[in-house]
Amino acid sequence: MINKIIEILNATNEIDAWKLTERKTKSSELFFIKNKLEMNRGKDVVKYKISVYNDFSNNEHKYRGSADVELLPDMEREEIEQIIQEAAVGASFIKNKYYPLADPVEIDYNVPASDFYDNSFADILSQISEALFESDNFDNGGLNSAELFLNEHQIRIINSKGVDNSYQKRVLDIDFITNWQENSEEIELSKIITLAEFDLDTIINTVREMLIQSRERSKAESLPNINDIPVILTGSSVKELLEYFYVQANAKQIYENVSIAEIGESMQGKEIKGDKVDLLLDPNLSGSTHSVPFDKDGFPLSAQKIIEGGKLLQFWGDIRFSHYLGIEATGDIKNLSFAEGSYSEKELKSEPHLELLVFSNFQMDHLAGNFGGEIRLGRYFDGEKSIPVTGGSISANINKIKNDMLLSIEKQQINNYYGPKFIKLNNISIAGG
């Protein structure tokens, strides 16, 4: 199929360059209600994403139009030719500034040697299912349901300049719900675990932690009306909040004038009272499903320091938008490694505060900087005792609080995020439940 596609691409007059990404995916999936299997599924699919490029000049400016289309293994030659021809015509109407494709570079890549890659899907899922239910041994709560998706992806990227790189990865996603009932009505919490390694301990510990949080939510009181109290975020909301700095430092956001960040300038305002942010993009972050040897263009990736001491050292970006800005491309790196802060968990929690563990849906608007969400589980510490709370919401704008963020020494990993586990913020608007 690939040879046939390349032959057609090379024979199409309007195409000056092309990129082909082959993606083969096999999966095995299990669906549980409590600890009984509701359904098993599997899939085996192959897709070919083709980018065609059409170069032209106008008033001495060079342009490169492009179009992305998907081809499938069942397509006959006539249909492939028609799709590629339409894409080529479409690309000729797309007037984007010229940018180069990735050059061929030899990339040393080997399939990771581990049980996760050596064992069959059925064996792995069988062991993972057992681990999932290992912590499900409490009297008043347990797993309500769980969905397990084990995917194996084989990716190959080829372009008209000679790039031809491949890698393989297995990804495990577990989407599960926990229940708990004390004296009041039964409650639930939900969680998705995404793993790039055969890590049974993480599964066991995460389920246990969610069950304990469910017990806490079951006992939670409605959030009282409290003001002028620091808020401590933990878990995935910390990741989503700090991702704002990653998005603001992206070459595409700069080129499109969505971000106004400047190299050498502070990302956290003029007077930083709290911790200063350090961000490293690490394409080899252990345990991340986004750890890859090269990006979507076939561009080889290496670790890049982006922010240090709160100051922007460089933008990060793919070949296209880096070329537009006249900077060296870092490639599209999706792993974020933030340095630890200077406060221990104990120090952060020593004074009255509202700690927020689970939101209905924590929203971070990367453009305007607004963030917030409804609280599913929090802990209100009044200086003497801590009580679990639920309901109500918080909201704020990161641009108003980014100069006064206290980051924890303790770190957490959530798939492609490795960084502080807690972040303490002041001047957050709190609505009682």
For residues 72-111, which are near other proteins according to CB under 8 A? 72-74, 86-87, 89-91, 93-97
CA distance 34 to 30: 12
Binding mask 113-152 for other proteins (x = CB under 8 A): ---------xx-xx--xx-------------xx-x-----
The reply to whether 271 sits near other proteins by the rule CB under 8 A is no
Kindly write out the interface string for residues 220-259 of this chain, putting x where it contacts other proteins by CB under 8 A and - elsewhere: -----------------------------------xxxx-
Beta strands at 231-234 and 279-281: parallel, antiparallel or unpaired: unpaired
Could you tell me the CA-to-CA distances from 103 to 9, 100, 157, 297, 322 in Å, in that order? 19, 9, 12, 9, 15
Among 21, 66, 266, 408, binds other proteins (CB under 8 A): 66
Closest CA to 290 of 334, 225, 325, 343: 334
Q: Which is nearer to other proteins, 83 or 348 (CB)?
A: 83
270 and 403 Cβ atoms separated by less than 8 Å: yes
Nearer to other proteins, 178 or 335 (CB): 178
| Binds other proteins by CB under 8 A, chosen from 115, 118, 186, 328 | 186
**Which is closer to other proteins, CB of 110 or CB of 183?**
183
CB of 396 to other proteins, least distance (A): 9
Distances (CA, A) of 213 to 73, 207, 377: 47, 10, 8
Min CB(324)–other proteins separation in Å: 8
Which tokens hold the place of 348? Answer: 């952060």
Of 406 and 428, CB closest to other proteins: 428
- When computed from its CA atoms, the radius of gyration of the chain, rounded to whole angstroms, is 25
Of 128, 148, 130, 146, which is closest to residue 29 (Cα–Cα)? 148
Q: How far apart are CA 45 and CA 152, in angstroms?
A: 11
* Ranges within 341-370 binding other proteins (CB under 8 A): 360-361, 363, 365, 367-370
Dist. CA 421–CA 419, nearest whole Å:
6
Q: How many other CB atoms are there within 10 angstroms of residue 301's CB atom?
A: 21
Which bin fits 159, alpha (ψ -120 to 50), beta or left (φ > 0)? beta
Nearer to other proteins, 185 or 384 (CB): 185
Q: Which of 5, 15, 32, 317 binds other proteins (CB under 8 A)?
A: 32
105/258 with CB nearer other proteins: 258
Residue choice 6, 17, 107, 177 for contact with other proteins (CB under 8 A): 177
Taking CB under 8 A as the criterion, the residue among 5, 20, 67, 124 binding other proteins is 67
**Binding residue for other proteins (CB under 8 A) from 136, 188, 243, 345?**
188
387-416 positions binding other proteins, by CB under 8 A: 391-395, 399
The string of DSSP codes covering 123-158 is HHHHHHHHHHHHT---SSEEEEEEEEEEEEEEEEEE
Q: How far is the CB of 16 from other proteins (least distance, A)?
A: 16
